[in-house]
Structure 1
Amino acid sequence: MNQLQHITDPKIIRVGRIGYINVAPVYYGLEQAGTPSHIRLISQPPAVLNRMMEQGMIDISPVSSAAFARNHHDWSLLPNLSISAFGKVMSVLLVSNHPLEKLENRNILLSDESASAADMLKLILSWKKIFPQFETGAIHPDNSSTWENHDAVLVIGNSALTGGWQNRFQYVYDLGELWKQVTGLPFVFAVWAVRKTFARENSRIVTDIAGHFERSKQLGRMNMPEIRKAASNLLNLDPNECRTYFEKLQYGLGHFELQGLKTFYQGLYAEKIVPERVKLSFFPTLIQGKKTKSLIGPESAYILSGYMKSINRQKAALLNLGLIHLPLPLKKVFPQLLHLFRQGRP
């Protein structure tokens, strides 16, 4: 069945899914146990899902963090869901014929599939006082005419993992690693958002779907060997490379991911990449201007409980290190903190 068929049916909740292997752990439970009949999963590249959310064609979806910045008045975040990485991410690459510092006034082709990666690159280069010429378009590893006339190319997703770009370009930069070098923080590539108008009218449905995501993600964590094997077979990736890739990805949205996200948004505004400051709002914080204490059912309580436990563990780790009084981000001790959190977080 065409995945876009019946997406205007008011009885169907339209839920986006990024068409890359990186979201497989989040959707594992939904796809293996069977998606509830009232949920229609729509798989598309990130940029397409961004546009569908903007146009009201889907109700809940992973969206690029850059898209959220431009739609923060209309969208709210679902708790404890993101695609993040602290350091090397492997699937977001700048490949270049020249070293980074030599890209001034040179032309860079940006993938048209992700707004976050493009804005992240623009921000990092702006911080480094490097101002190239940007062009956006489709990038296909097997069609050299799409990229061979450019000095550098930003590639993302499955194409970055399988394109053999190190054999085509002299310099390969992992944007997750560049972000870590500049900020000492993780980068949040995508978040899960709900349209505020939909959430106000369907708060219990959104709570239920958030619960489905939380359980699905937990099942994904418990079945990573199966997920890695499927991804390896699908993309013909070396199993060890596939394992390394998934080990670098984080799917929560805790305190330090939020610090990275806020740093990104502050930078976008300061460098005039977005026109206004970004305000973060979470479902189910506000519904029609009122606190949702009376609307929080078992699913919401379950989700928020897990989210607060994660934050409390992070605070405990800070106390144990004697660092709770220091301002964040804690760039010098971040690797040690991250190690503690990965051991203890849900």
Structure 2
Amino acid sequence: GRLDVALVPSIEYFRNPDWTIVSDACVACDGPVRSVKLYGRVPIEQIRTLALDEGSRTSAALVRILLKERFGLEPQLCPLPIGTSLEDSQVDAAMLIGDRAMLPMRDRYEFVWDLGQQWSRWTGLPFVFAMWIARSGVDLQGIDEALTAARDEGVARLAEIARHEAPGLGLSEDECLCYLRDNLDFQLHDRQRRGLQQFCELAARHRLAPAGVELAFYDQPTAR
């Protein structure tokens, strides 16, 4: 079946012109994110092969943009399936997301990039990983209020969420709470929107999304 409303990776939103952002709830960061990292076995200028965690399309686009824009690199890409260990791969560098990017690595690496931090330092803006999206023709009455209320309730219960989730992730309760409270940002305000717009334009420049996309927000309707 088809969903009317869903939490969607930002890169997929750019690729679907009939979708609209329907809430100021999102998943973003404004500085280090801790859960999206690039691990390099060689100096960054020498990267020729890059493995991309199959768990994130947006982060895969982000690392490709950063490498091309800042170093002129377009490495050969290969997938890193969920559940596959980075230590088992032979690539020059690999992008990991989620809890496995937050756990200690056995191997030593030439460098480790936190991609949220790299984006923020380069652009001066937050990075938005995912937003709530609705397809065209959906009755949006009450959607914004419901999603905002759900976001606010979750933010008010971060300590409880961290306590519940930590054991299954191999992280301490304090690590989980710090991540949710200090690294993630759940508000799609003006700076986040500007960061999203810049990512959209860069994705188009590198042919990772269509050109000429105009972001459409529930509170600022735009013909896309």
Q: TM-score, normalized by length of structure 1?
A: 0.59
- Deviation string 1:49-82 (CA, Å, 9 cap, x unpaired) is xxxxxxxx322111111111111x1210012121
1:136 lines up with 2:79 in the alignment: yes
1:263 lines up with 2:207 in the alignment: no
Which whole-Å CA distance do the structure 2 matches of 1:101 and 1:142 have between them?
24
1:78 lines up with 2:22 in the alignment: yes
Which whole-Å CA distance do the structure 2 matches of 1:286 and 1:278 have between them?
13
1:212 lines up with 2:146 in the alignment: yes
Task: After TM superposition, give the deviation of residue 284 of structure 1 in Å.
Answer: 5.8
Task: After TM superposition, give the deviation of residue 272 of structure 1 in Å.
Answer: 3.0
Task: After TM superposition, give the deviation of residue 135 of structure 1 in Å.
Answer: 1.6
1:222 — aligned with what? 156
Q: Is the 8 A contact 2:24 2:144 kept in 1?
A: no
Q: Which structure shows the higher helix fraction?
A: 1
Q: Is the 8 A contact 1:95 1:169 kept in 2?
A: no
Task: After TM superposition, give the deviation of residue 249 of structure 1 in Å.
Answer: 0.6
Which whole-Å CA distance do the structure 2 matches of 1:70 and 1:229 have between them?
37
Distance 1:62 1:237, change over 3 A: same
2:39 — aligned with what? 95
Which whole-Å CA distance do the structure 2 matches of 1:278 and 1:189 have between them?
17
Which whole-Å CA distance do the structure 1 matches of 2:128 and 2:221 have between them?
23
Question: What SS does the corresponding residue of 1:207 show, helix, strand or coil?
Answer: coil
Question: What SS does the corresponding residue of 2:125 show, helix, strand or coil?
Answer: coil
Task: After TM superposition, give the deviation of residue 282 of structure 1 in Å.
Answer: 2.0
Unaligned runs of 5+ in 1: 1-7, 9-56, 290-346
- Deviation string 1:150-198 (CA, Å, 9 cap, x unpaired) is 1111111232223x33x3241221100110121111111111101113x
Q: Is the 8 A contact 2:23 2:147 kept in 1?
A: no
Q: Is the 8 A contact 2:23 2:143 kept in 1?
A: no
Which whole-Å CA distance do the structure 1 matches of 2:146 and 2:43 have between them?
45
Task: After TM superposition, give the deviation of residue 99 of structure 1 in Å.
Answer: 2.5
Q: Is the 8 A contact 1:94 1:173 kept in 2?
A: yes
Question: What SS does the corresponding residue of 1:168 show, helix, strand or coil?
Answer: coil
Q: How does 1:322-341 map to 2 (within 5 A)?
A: none
Distance 1:155 1:123, change over 3 A: same
Structure 1 counterpart of 2:58, from 107, 116, 124 = 116
Q: Counterpart amino acid of 2:94?
A: V
RMSD: 2.1
Give the fraction of aligned pairs with identical amino acids, expressed as a percent.
27
2:5 — aligned with what? 60
1:298 — aligned with what? none
Task: After TM superposition, give the deviation of residue 133 of structure 1 in Å.
Answer: 1.2
Task: After TM superposition, give the deviation of residue 144 of structure 1 in Å.
Answer: 4.7
Q: Is the 8 A contact 1:265 1:277 kept in 2?
A: no
Which whole-Å CA distance do the structure 1 matches of 2:190 and 2:133 have between them?
18
Q: Is the 8 A contact 1:139 1:155 kept in 2?
A: no
Which whole-Å CA distance do the structure 2 matches of 1:266 and 1:65 have between them?
12
Structure 2 counterpart of 1:190, from 130, 137, 146 = 130
Structure 2 counterpart of 1:279, from 196, 214, 223 = 214
1:127 lines up with 2:69 in the alignment: yes
Task: After TM superposition, give the deviation of residue 234 of structure 1 in Å.
Answer: 2.4
Larger CA Rg, structure 1 vs 2: 1
Unaligned runs of 5+ in 2: none
Question: What SS does the corresponding residue of 1:251 show, helix, strand or coil?
Answer: strand
For these two proteins, the number of residue pairs brought into alignment is 220
Q: How does 1:224-303 map to 2 (within 5 A)?
A: 224-246=158-180, 247-283=182-218
Which whole-Å CA distance do the structure 2 matches of 1:271 and 1:143 have between them?
27
Task: After TM superposition, give the deviation of residue 285 of structure 1 in Å.
Answer: 5.1
Q: Counterpart amino acid of 1:264?
A: F
Task: After TM superposition, give the deviation of residue 136 of structure 1 in Å.
Answer: 2.5
Which whole-Å CA distance do the structure 2 matches of 1:109 and 1:186 have between them?
25
2:93 — aligned with what? 152
Q: Which structure shows the higher strand fraction?
A: 2
